[in-house]
Copies of this chain bind each other. A is one copy, B any other.
Amino acid sequence: MVLKTGEEYIESLRERGPLTIYMLGEKIENPIEHPIIRASINSVALTYDLAHNPDFKDIMTATSVLTGKKINRFCHLHTSTEDLQNKVKMQRILGQLSGTCFQRCVGMDALNAVYLTTFEIDDKLGTGYHQRFIDYIKQTEDEDWVIDGCMTDPKGDRSKRPSEQKDPDVFVHVIERRDDGVVIRGAKAHQTGAINSHEHLIMPTLAMRNEDKNYAICCAVPADAEGITYYYGRQSCDLRRLDQTESGDVDCGNSVFGGQECLIVFDDVFVSNERIFMNGESEFCSRLVESFSAYHRQSYGGCKVGVGDVLVGAAASIAEYNGVENASHIRDKITEMIHLNETLYSCGIACSAAGHKTPAGNYLVDLLLANVCKQNVTRFPYEISRLLQDIAGGLFVTCPSAQELSNPETRNIIEKYLVGAEGVDTIDRIKMLRLIENLTLGRAAVGYLTESMHGAGSPQAQRIMINRLSNLEEKKKLAKSLAKVSK
């Protein structure tokens, strides 16, 4: 039985070698117990705990095609379109229960993308990457690892290719080739859950040309490898986590769960041969990037929908607390929130149901529909968030600090004047308002809004794919035929 519990997962993080982490100007010695980091660890731990929860274990686990063992779905190679749909359903549940980014999807998506790409490289070039990678996946499954799918380079001057950059290090690349492996240098930005991972699965960030060969590197390194430094990314309202009182708890909005992004710097990190899955085969970078992106664009049709459910629930709750739940315009706005959210879910399900088997044997989503899915995710969460702000009323940005609640005198005044509908506890009303702040402006907004925009590729990246995949010539023929044009 390879399924860890949340507690075992956290223990496994402690067992890693020391990491070099900078946050808020300090070197963090014990990331596990740091209140800002801990909330993000809790989100990941949920992916473990639910695998043991009778209500969710069927969707949270799968049977390994490699070993036949019961494994966490996050380590799974998708074996059917039903599997692809189950992935989306699992992500929705986790979004619902954490109200934030739970950080483990990118690894699952990377595993599936590298799996199919290594097969295709070997198939064409006779290399041996695929078997190596199968071994790596087996280890991942057995250890129930969190894998950081590590793709986005800092990119420097965006009008230039990797090999044209002034500083070659703004894209991760091989700086030394040895018999037993390679040495890499560079950095990966916006790395979700970086510190909460056991492994980084490094992939190139864009299609590469022949002259970019040194950048065509795909490999795995452990999170505690020598030469790695982590720079913790700030999030809106992050400092509220540092208030460890009950008041801080209230003002966080969602005090248990949070997300995490880091800048990871690889300062001459050695990678041994058995952990290298592409090394210079630049013509396969686009396949890897497009398949990974497609999987990850599908993901957003699950996780953000789950968080969207929380926004819908917050809207309905605060309407109730304000005593306006029966106003027709309130009901209509909630309906619109649901409608938009379920449209996103439909996109997540559709690209899964329309998926297909790859030559390697795992299942890949429909590329066009996955891009359509993500494109909608760059829009609707913003409107859902706007509607929630509308329904909430303005108090969620003007409410006094919960620290006033510690003082009985000020608490009385707060409770007297911020009272809502009869029978509603005023403190409950404040807590719900803080959750709304968290979701639309605060720490969770980073994930629900900005990550929805840029995660898995910015909107224009999807538009390029949508245009390319749309078979426009065929559509022109349809129109020309109906119009009876001569050619």
Contact = CB atoms under 8 A, between A and B. Distances in A.
A441 B437 CA distance: 10
Given A332-B463, A335-B463, A431 B395 contact: no
B234 A400 contact: yes
A69 interface: no
A124 interface: no
Contacts of A158: 322-324, 421
Interface residues of A, number: 155
The quantity of this chain's copies bound in the complex is: 4
A372 B483 contact: no
A190 B418 CA distance: 11
A445 B154 CA distance: 27
B316 A472 contact: yes
Interface stretch (A8-16, A47-55, A382-390): A382-390
A67 interface: no
Given A261-B397, A382-B382, A159 B324 contact: yes
A86 to B, nearest CB: 12
Interface string A6-34: 00000000000000001111100000000
A342 interface: yes
Interface string A92-103: 000011110000
A479 B313 contact: yes
Nearest to A322: B158
A25 B406 contact: yes
A425 to B, nearest CB: 6
B413 A484 contact: no
Interface stretch (A71-79, A283-291, A450-458): A450-458
Interface stretch (A106-114, A212-220, A349-357): A349-357
Contact of A309 (B418, B478, B486): B478
Given A156-B420, A390-B453, A475-B312, A484 B323 contact: no
12 contacts: A22-B410, A156-B420, A167-B419, A170-B417, A253-B483, A263-B418, A338-B472, A339-B466, A343-B376, A349-B350, A349-B369, A353-B353
Given A309-B475, A386-B453, 18 more contacts: A25-B404, A25-B406, A99-B478, A154-B419, A167-B416, A187-B417, A189-B395, A190-B395, A233-B398, A261-B397, A263-B398, A265-B413, A335-B467, A346-B372, A348-B350, A428-B480, A428-B487, A432-B480
